[in-house]
């Protein structure tokens, strides 16, 4: 199972990001969406779960959860925008993957058997950080992550 990971689009959904996410079984957007049309376009590709980021406002954004836990192929995935606001103990909760955004820095680290993944920012470039997305692969109850820097002219 391939789960597309995207965050921090900030109102800019790049064609390169859409191309990468196409063919995913599901999509996760870790917040700072800014434009609800982004969610509509992503939902056309695959079932979409998203959370509210610190730059998301308005009635559409208030309808989004601040954090959510979903399960894919027996693997529990917890998603929130800012890792500093993590309000659960992933290990005690049986969560195997935590997906976040906010920093615009793509990263994947494992601690205590939990993968902490930030796909980076797929929208506007910030400083010299890459424009990136990711994928979570669930295979026979195991999770692996691939982060991809998009080729942006």
Residue 150: its pLDDT value, please? Answer: 96
- What tokens does 153 get? 């002219």
H or E, element range at 43: helix 36-43
pTM confidence score? 0.97
Residue 48: its pLDDT value, please? Answer: 98
Please say if the pLDDT value at position 153 is more than 80: no
Closest by Cα among 126, 82, 86 to 104:
126
Residue 126: its pLDDT value, please? Answer: 84
Q: Token match 């998603």: residue?
A: 79
The mean of the pLDDT values for the chain is 97
Query: Which pLDDT tens digit goes with each residue over 37-74?
Result: 999 999 999 999 999 999 999 999 999 999 999 999 99
For residues 126-134, give the mean pLDDT. 92
Residue 146: its pLDDT value, please? Answer: 98
């Amino acid at each position: 199972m391939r789960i597309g990971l995207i965050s921090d689009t900030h109102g800019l959904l790049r064609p390169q990001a859409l191309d990468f996410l196409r063919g995913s079984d599901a999509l996760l957007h870790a917040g700072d969406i800014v434009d609800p049309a982004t969610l509509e376009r992503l939902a056309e590709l695959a079932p979409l779960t998203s959370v509210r980021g610190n730059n998301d406002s308005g009635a559409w954004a208030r309808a989004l959860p601040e954090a959510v836990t979903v399960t894919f192929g027996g693997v529990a995935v917890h998603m929130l925008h800012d890792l500093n606001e993590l309000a659960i103990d992933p290990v005690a909760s049986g969560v195997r993957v935590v997906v976040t955004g906010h920093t615009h820095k793509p990263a994947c680290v494992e601690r205590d058997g939990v993968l902490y993944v930030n796909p980076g920012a797929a929208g506007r470039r910030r400083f010299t950080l890459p424009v990136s997305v990711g994928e979570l692969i669930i295979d026979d109850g195991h999770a692996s992550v691939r982060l991809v820097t998009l080729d942006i002219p």
